Each structure stands twice: as C-alpha cells, then as structure tokens.
Structure 1
Amino acid sequence: MKNYDLIIVGAGPIGLACGISAAKAGLNYCILEKGVLVNSLYNFPENMTFFSTSNLLEIGDVPFVAHNDKPTRKEALEYYRRVYESWKLNVKLYTPVQSMTKNTEGYVIDTPKEQFSTKAVIVSTGFYDTARKLNIPGEDLPKVKHFYDSPHPYVNQKVLVIGAANSACDVALETFYKGAEVTMAIRGNEIYPKTKYWIKPNIENRIKEGSIKAYFETSVKEIKPHSVILDTPDGAIEIENDFVLAMIGYTPDYSLFEKLGLPIDEENAKKPIHNSETLETPLKNVFVAGVINSGMKTSKLFIENTRVHADMIINHLKKELTQLA
C-alpha cells in the first residue's frame, strides 16, 4: 500500500489545479481518476464551445491559446493535457475510488487496482458524469440519451429534445441543421433566459418560424419504442419519435459521496457540508473542491470561479500537516 500526504479524487481542471498547488507546496500527492484525463470535458459534445474565455480556464500558469475568444472542447482537452505534461502531475487514470476508511494516519482509499494510505483527501469530481433522470416509463430504452456527442446519428430522424437551457438548445439547433426533425418538450413557458447569448435568439427564431416544434409547459409522460407521450396544457398527446435527447442537466455523484462518508446538507441544495473558508468537510482533513460544492445548484460554480479552491485548501492543509509532523 502506497502512502501519500494527499489523495485527490478527480482529474478534472480543479483536481489538476489541486495537484499543482500540492506540488508547489512540496506535498506527496496522487490524483485518482475513474476515467480519462478531464473525464467530464471529454464527455462534452464534440462541437461544444465554452461560455468562458480561454484565460478564465487557465491553471498552473500555463497559457491557454485558442483560435477564437471562446475555446472549443477539442482545444480544452489539448490544453489540459499540456498542463498535465508541463507539471508532470502524478495521475492514475481508470482508477475509480470504491471506499474510504479512517486509520491512525488518516485514511485508506480502496480502488479495484490497489489501496492508498493518505493523511488528507480532496474530492473534486465535478457533476457532468451523472445525468439527472426523468424517472418515467421507457427511460431505459436504447433510444434515450442523456449525453450528446454528435449530430450524425440523428440525420433524417424524429428527435425529441427535453429541456430549454444551453445544452438542450444547442442540441436542438445542431441536430436540426444536420437534417433531423426536431421537437422540444419544455417544462416552463419560455427558453431559459440565461441561455448563451449567441444561441438564444437562434433557437427562438427557429421555434417562431416553425422549423423546430416546441411544446411549452410540457413534460414527457412516457417513452415508447416508436413514439412519446407528452403532457401538454391541452392534454396528453402522442407523437412519433426515433430518439429522445434528455438534456435536463447533471448532478454530483452522490453515490460516491456516500461511499466516502461525506455528509450532505439535504435542505440546502444537497451540498456537501463544508467550511466555506477552508473547504474542509466534517471529516478531518477531507476537503471538497470545484463545482460539486454547489450541490444541485449546478449553474452557480464553474472552472473559472473555483480555480481558487486549490490554493485555499493547500494553504490550510500545509499548516495542518506541519502541526502533525
């Protein structure tokens, strides 16, 4: 079993930032990632453009140069790979964390490959890997997708897009432009007001002209192999359908929190309980970093405003570990 000062769970941008801060502080650290490097970003749609500018996504003093003001997913993957290589970060990929138990030195982290002993832990797992569920009949059909990659599979297909925020509008437009017959099911009475400024007027105009059919104040009642039933203000209707793209958002991985023993504030957006100044949880020397700190309010925190979490945690942790030495 290998011994570390710090184990970081999650090799997303903030997990990498924590690794960089740990390296600067001279801590013996390891980053554990269940999938690929920056796994959440890898699962973004292949043609996605960030809302943030490239300089707001920078970490570790490595310049992020993009072709345009708003970088693409492809550029972000290349950038964070360069960060990883520039800092020679100690990352173990395809190493999911299964459990965490306390011992005299701190904690033991179990993975399918090996065990790790550590004095401290940072959990920085993001939320994009865990999709919100519709919890309706037919959601488990193969034609239902909670993650979107490319418009190609939907050429000449009847597609239902569920949602009205950035992802849903982006997907509706892209599949429409590639030849899909697109319908949207929108729970509210309008497109989400904070949708990206270059997307919102486009989707509203496509709906207005009838190119994309939108049902407002509507929920999906049931998904069938070749149709869907919508609950509209005028009653239930059934429409033909080939694919359902449920772009209704994502959540932190609460099953992982449970495995780690991290307490959750059920009455406050299911946020992991933590000290706002040190980001330490009620578990001694166990911290939470990045967007998971907002719980279910996933539109509150982003890469750009959580980059500071790395130094906040490491500065506090270094003092704690010095006292233990």
Structure 2
Amino acid sequence: MKHIDLIIIGGGPIGIACGLEAKKKGIDYLIIEKGPIVNSLFNYPINMQFFSSSEKLEIDNIPFISKEAKPKRNEALEYYRRIVTSNDLNINLFEKVNKVDKESDIFKIETEKQTYTASFVIVATGFYDIPNTINVPGEDLPKVSHYYKDPHFYAKQKLAVIGASNSAVDAALECYRKGAEVTMIVRGPEIGRRVKYWVRPDIENRIKEGSIKAFYNATVKEVSKDKIKISIPNEDIEIDNDYVLALTGYKPNFGFLKKIGINLSEDEKLYPEYNGETMESNVPNLYLAGVICGGMDTHVWFIENSRIHAKAIIHSITQK
C-alpha cells in the first residue's frame, strides 16, 4: 500500500489547479481521474462553446489563447492537456476511486486498480457524472439519452429535447441545423434565463418562425418506442418521436460524499459542509474544491470563480 501526502480526486481544471499548487509547494501529491484528462470537458458536446472568456478559464496564470473570445471544447481540451503534460503533473488516468475511509489521521483510498493511504485528500469531482432523471416510464429505452455529443447522429430524425438550459438550447439548434425535426419540451413558461445571451435570440427566433417546435409549461408523461407523451396545460398529447435528449441537468455524487463522512444540508440543496476560507470539510484534512461546493446549485461554482480554491487549500495544508 503506497502512502502519498496528498490525494486529489478528480482531474478536471480545478483538480489540475490543486496539483499545480501542490507541486509548487513541494508537496507529495497524486491526482486520480476516472477518465481522460479533464474527463467532464471531454464528454461535453463536440461543438460546445464556453460562456466564459478564455482568460477566465486560465489556471496558475498560464495564458489560454483561443481563436474567439469565448473558447470551444477542443481548445479547452488542448489547453488543460498541455498544462498537465508540460508540467509533468503526477496524475493517474482511467482509475476510478471507489471508497475513501479514515482511520485515525490517515485516509485509505481504494480505487479500481490499487489502494493508497494519504494524510490529506481533496475532492474535486465536479457534477457531470449523474444526470437529473425525469422518472417516467420509458426513460430507460435506448432512444433516450441524458448526454448530447454530436448533431450528425440525429439528422432526419424526430428529436425531442427536454429542457431549456444552455445544453438543451445548443442541442436543439445544432440538431435542427443538421436536419433533425426538433421539438423542445420546456417545464417553465420560457427558455431559461441563464442561456448564453448571444444564443437566446437564435433559439427564440427559430421557435417563433416554427423551425423548432416548443411546448411550454410541459412535462413528459411517458416515452415509448415511436412516440412521447407530454402534458401541457389542460391536456395530454402524444407526438411522433425517434430519439429523446433529456438534458435536465446533472448533480454531484452525493452518495460518495456521504460515505466519506461529509455532512450535507437537510434541505433540497444538499450543500456540503466546509470552511469558506480554507475549503476544509467537516472531516478534518479532507477538502472540497470546485462545483461540488454548491450542492444542487451547480451554477454557483464554476471554473472561473473556483480557481481560488487551489491556493486556499494548499495554503491550509502547508500550515498544518
């Protein structure tokens, strides 16, 4: 069993930032990532464009140069990959952490491949792993997906997009432009208010002209082999359907956090308990970094405002 002073769980931008800071301070560290470098970004839609400008996605003051002010997925992958490789960060990829226990002052971290011990642990696992399900009959059919990758797949297909956030709007527009017959199913009375300001007029105009059909104040009742049943004000209707993209958001792995011993708030937000200055959780020497700090409010913390977590955490560790 190998002992490492600091284990960082999660190799996304914030986990990488923690690794950079630990390396600068001479701390013996290891980043463990269940997939490739920045696994969550890798799984974003192929044509995804960030809301943030490139300089706000920078970590450790390393310049992020992009073709446009707001970079796209492939540019972000290149940026973070170069940081990992050029700085020779100590990172194990495609190694999922299954369990974290604490015995006295030492953590025991079990992965799919081996077991480690550590004096300190940082959890920076993001929120993209577990989709918010719609909990209706037929959700488990192969035609239903909670992740969207490439619009080409849906060309000439009747596609229902559930949701009205950035991911749902991007998918609806891209698939429409590749030849899909797109219907949006929106729970509220309008397209989400957080949709990127340069995209919102596009989707509203496509709906207004009838290129994309939208049902507002609507919920899905059932998905079947070739139809989808939805409830709209005063009636239920069925529409022909080939594929469903249920882009209703994602959430952190709260079960994993609970098993580690992290306290969560008792309301529906499930905020984890941590010190706002040091990012140390209620479990001594176990720190939280990045979007997981916001519980179900996954829009509160993101790359540009959680970069500061790395310095705060490593400073706390060095003081100990």
- What residue in structure 2 maps to residue 113 of structure 1? 113
Equivalent AA in structure 1 for residue 165 of structure 2: A
8 Å contact kept, 1:160–1:184: yes
Deviations 1:137-163 (A, max 9, x none): 100000001000000111100000001
TM-aligned CA deviation for residue 105 of structure 1: 4.3
- What residue in structure 2 maps to residue 68 of structure 1? 68
Give the alignment's TM-score, normalised by structure 1. Answer: 0.96
Query: Counterparts of 2:90 and 2:103 in 1: how far apart (Å)?
Result: 23
TM-aligned CA deviation for residue 198 of structure 1: 1.2
- Structure 1 segment 15-94 matched on structure 2, within 5 A: 15-94=15-94
- Poorly superposed stretches of 4+, deviation over 6 Å: none
- What residue in structure 2 maps to residue 285 of structure 1? 285
TM-aligned CA deviation for residue 106 of structure 1: 1.5
8 Å contact kept, 1:49–1:71: yes
8 Å contact kept, 1:19–1:29: yes
2:197 is the counterpart of 1:207: no
Query: Counterparts of 1:112 and 1:259 in 2: how far apart (Å)?
Result: 17
- What residue in structure 1 maps to residue 98 of structure 2? 98
- Structure 1 stretches of 5 or more lacking a match? 321-325
Query: Counterparts of 1:152 and 1:256 in 2: how far apart (Å)?
Result: 35
Equivalent AA in structure 1 for residue 91 of structure 2: V
Equivalent AA in structure 1 for residue 112 of structure 2: P
Deviations 1:87-114 (A, max 9, x none): 2110001111111111244111011211
- What residue in structure 1 maps to residue 276 of structure 2? 276
- What residue in structure 1 maps to residue 234 of structure 2? 234
- What residue in structure 2 maps to residue 159 of structure 1? 159
Query: Counterparts of 1:259 and 1:78 in 2: how far apart (Å)?
Result: 34
Identity %: 50
Query: Counterparts of 1:33 and 1:318 in 2: how far apart (Å)?
Result: 24
Q: How many positions carry a matched residue from both structures?
A: 320
Query: Counterparts of 1:295 and 1:138 in 2: how far apart (Å)?
Result: 28
- What residue in structure 1 maps to residue 171 of structure 2? 171
- What residue in structure 1 maps to residue 222 of structure 2? 222
SS at match of 1:30: strand
Query: Counterparts of 2:300 and 2:107 in 1: how far apart (Å)?
Result: 31
Query: Counterparts of 1:111 and 1:197 in 2: how far apart (Å)?
Result: 42
SS at match of 2:97: coil
- What residue in structure 1 maps to residue 253 of structure 2? 253
TM-aligned CA deviation for residue 268 of structure 1: 6.2
* Superposition RMSD in Å: 1.0
- What residue in structure 2 maps to residue 313 of structure 1? 313
8 Å contact kept, 1:264–1:273: yes
Give the alignment's TM-score, normalised by structure 2. Answer: 0.98
Query: Counterparts of 1:28 and 1:65 in 2: how far apart (Å)?
Result: 31
Deviations 1:272-306 (A, max 9, x none): 11111111111110010001100101111110000
TM-aligned CA deviation for residue 71 of structure 1: 0.5
Equivalent AA in structure 1 for residue 163 of structure 2: G
Equivalent AA in structure 2 for residue 145 of structure 1: S
Query: Counterparts of 1:152 and 1:266 in 2: how far apart (Å)?
Result: 43
8 Å contact kept, 1:60–1:83: no
Query: Counterparts of 1:268 and 1:313 in 2: how far apart (Å)?
Result: 27
